Structure 1
Amino acid sequence: MEFDEVLRRRRMVRTYDPERPVPPELVDKLLRHALRAPSAGFSQGWGFLVLSEPADRERYWSVTAPRGDTAAERAAAGSWLDRMRSAPLIIVALANKSVYLDRYAQPDKGWTDRDESRWPVPYWDVDTGFAALLIHLTAVNEGLGSLFFGVPADRIGAFRDAFGVPAEFRPVGALTIGYPAPDKRSPSLRRGHRAVDEVVHHGRWTAPRAPSDG
């Protein structure tokens, strides 16, 4: 598929065909492409937890499902999870900050104090997000659907315990992946894409133009 077509087709898919597993060779390709992501200092401080067995996927949902405070929130979460649970593959992308601090303490970088204030943004999370995006785009290219979503903050401890994830790895997000099934259109899409001139600034940041009175 041409790259432009991949971008045109890219969307977040929440419903999957549970009868069509992702072939092992495609799982391997998804992960190999993730490793092509850029990383600061070529630190590559990421890890990927691959959940393809039904018992592992069920464990994931059981320990990470959000707990709504109201009946309406619980109902909404249930509808969302019912569709998401049909995904035959989950890949959790995790970032390891210590790998970056160690890398930048080496002689060619010289930040031996390992001071996190030197980092304008947490590039360990940014780079892991890049890797997750490559998984997402590769899925589209292979005729698969996927959705990137977060692990609820109050469930991270339970997630680590359930899968033996070391404390230095923090989940940046997870991807459900599978062959798409008929899906509901997300209400968020009604907002549409923002116009280019609203978000792109050439040479100097410019304020949005006020609407004309006529």
Structure 2
Amino acid sequence: MPLHPDAALPAAPEPPDPGGKPLAFSRAERDAVYRAIHERRDVRSQFLPAPVPDEVLTRLLTAAHHAPSVGFMQPWDFILIDDPEVKRAVKALYTGANEQAARLFGGERGELYRRLKLEGIEDSPLNVVVTCSRTRGGPHVLGRTSSVDMDLFSTCLAVQNFWLAARAEGVGVGWVSILDEQELARLLQLPQDVVPLAYLCVGYVTEFLPEPELQARGWRARLPLEDLLHRNRWTPRGPT
């Protein structure tokens, strides 16, 4: 049976050690990995103005750059934005897109949507845009011949690496998804074959919330893991 997210981790069996170096992390190292996963948050409102030191930022970007990628294509680039004018221009794009999005939700849901703070573009000292080059590796990339979007999926893994490393460093990250991709690409003067996959707000924070903000505010709860498990074939479920 799967563990409850807050349950204590059982002692892992030691795997074979053919090369003289332990294959499993120590208990403390494993706990640190799981802590980063469970305590990662999408930060919007808790940013401090202090800049992230270059050596810390380099570690985060290096972690992102060590993400797995299909065919080892490494399709990501990173645009670092700290210019207030560029931030203001991006914030204007967000405001327009968010006004359109708000009209999709009516009644109490719409009222709650309008109360949510969904970005920290100007609040965070640094914005990081993770892009995906859709032609990197050439016209035929190993492992991408059947699914052409594997470059996008690979870039998402770079974002996750960045986010988890940031949590371990005490640095907050917030993903701003309410942006028109084409307008953002024009603003950032991206080449035609490069798409902006993730717009991240980055900086030290006053706190990491004990639970995801959307869950705490009543927008949506975490689904039970046992309701999402299937074996061998899809098991029909009720509405979610």
- Band of TM-score, shorter chain: 0.7 to 0.9
Q: CA RMSD in A?
A: 3.3
Distance 1:166 1:27 in 2: 25
Q: Which runs of 5+ in 1 are unaligned?
A: none
Aligned AA (2:134): K
Give 2:139's aligned residue. Answer: 102
Determine if the alignment matches structure 1 residue 171 to structure 2 residue 196. Answer: yes
- Pairs within 5 Å for 1:125-204: 125-150=152-177, 152-153=179-180, 156-181=181-206, 186-189=213-216, 190=218, 191-204=220-233
Distance 1:163 1:204 in 2: 44
Give 2:129's aligned residue. Answer: 92
Stretch of structure 1 that moved more, 23-32 or 56-65: 56-65
Identity of aligned residues (%): 21
Aligned structure 1 segments of 4 or more residues deviating by more than 4 angstroms:
69-73, 75-79, 81-84, 182-185
Match of 2:160, SS state, is helix
Deviation at 1:150, TM superposition (A): 2.0
1:161-207: CA deviation from partner (whole Å, max 9, x where unpaired): 33221111111121111112368973445432211221122333323
Residues 183 and 39 of structure 1, relative CA distance in 2, 3 Å threshold: closer
Match of 1:85, SS state, is coil
Distance 1:66 1:181 in 2: 29
Distance 2:119 2:160 in 1: 24
Residues 203 and 183 of structure 1, relative CA distance in 2, 3 Å threshold: closer
Match of 1:80, SS state, is coil
Residues 77 and 86 of structure 1, relative CA distance in 2, 3 Å threshold: farther
1:97-123: CA deviation from partner (whole Å, max 9, x where unpaired): 11255352xxxx5x9xxxx8x433511
Matched length: 198
Q: Which runs of 5+ in 2 are unaligned?
A: 1-28
Distance 1:126 1:66 in 2: 27
Instruction: Answer 1 or 2: which has greater helix percent.
Output: 1
- Pairs within 5 Å for 1:108-127: 109=142, 118-120=145-147, 122-127=149-154
Match of 2:42, SS state, is coil
CA contact (8 A) 2:120 2:174 kept: no
Deviation at 1:66, TM superposition (A): 3.0
Distance 2:231 2:119 in 1: 45
Determine if the alignment matches structure 1 residue 28 to structure 2 residue 28. Answer: no
Aligned AA (2:40): R
